[in-house]
A = this chain, B = another copy of it.
């Protein structure tokens, strides 16, 4: 329903990935190829980490991304070593800034593509599971933001993969208790300023698409005419809902039911499975 992108590597202008590729994220806002909806015009957001500030900046708007002049200005003038961007196609909740991704809590950012099915049936139950000290920070009405606060409640800051696994387990248990066959569909990106975690999972085992760039050598081949990318560090990495440029060998699909971590040193790709309360998680 949405499209997102994460970048980690040497600092680049945000517009390099948002505007300046053949099938950039902004192009996808009008003409998505792999998404459930071809138009992602119900708001957007970009969150970026800098070097001088404790928390990431978040720029979100309810205008379609393809129209927003301020996004173009910011993307064209801000360099960042780690940023997440998201374009939204609402599945029914209000189009408002507080429903746009990324969501932020202190140094954490969170983007989501997918949905909690029959959300209205279990929204209250999920909201009650959020820690009392976190609850007042929820500003919007989306399932995506609630998943973030559940993950925070369940330990995101200490153990992101475990917290997301427990969050998914909790949602699936709540959903199935209400007779929902496949409660959750998701790709999720989350970051703390140093690492990016990307998850691909769905209750039905047919998850939304998610790709990561092979490695920076391929990336350099992809953009021979982009001096900044030629200077990209070897560890630069892009994760996307759908490829932003066509080039054989440039993209690997994140496998079904798995997650990856992008950070200093070797990146990791591991299986993902929910942790249920009966598991003692």
The chain A residues found within 8 Å of chain B, CB to CB, are 13, 30, 38-39, 41-42, 48, 50, 52-53, 57-64, 66-67, 69-70, 73-74, 76-79, 90, 93-98, 119-121, 123-124, 127-128, 130, 132, 135-136, 138-141
CB distance from A177 to the nearest CB of B (A): 13
CB–CB B60/A70 < 8 A: yes
Taking CB atoms, residues of chain B closer than 8 Å to A61 are: 70
> What number of copies of this chain does the assembly contain?
4
Q: Which residues of B contact A13 (CB under 8 A)?
A: 52
Q: Are A74 and B53 in contact (CB under 8 A)?
A: no
Besides A38-B38, A42-B67, A67-B95, 14 other A-B contacts (C-beta < 8 A): A30-B39, A48-B77, A53-B76, A58-B73, A59-B70, A59-B74, A62-B63, A67-B90, A69-B97, A74-B74, A78-B78, A98-B141, A119-B136, A140-B141
Tell me the complex Cα distance, A26–B59, Å: 19
Q: Across the interface, which residues of B come within 8 angstroms of A30, CB to CB?
A: 39
Report chain B residues within 8 Å CB of A93: 139
Bound together, the chains give a CA A124 to CA B38 distance in angstroms of 37
Contact of A39 among B39, B60, B136 (CB under 8 A): B39
B residues within 8 A CB of A124?
A: 128, 130, 132, 135-136
Report the minimal beta-carbon distance from A210 to chain B, rounded to whole angstroms.
Answer: 25
Q: Are A77 and B50 in contact (CB under 8 A)?
A: yes
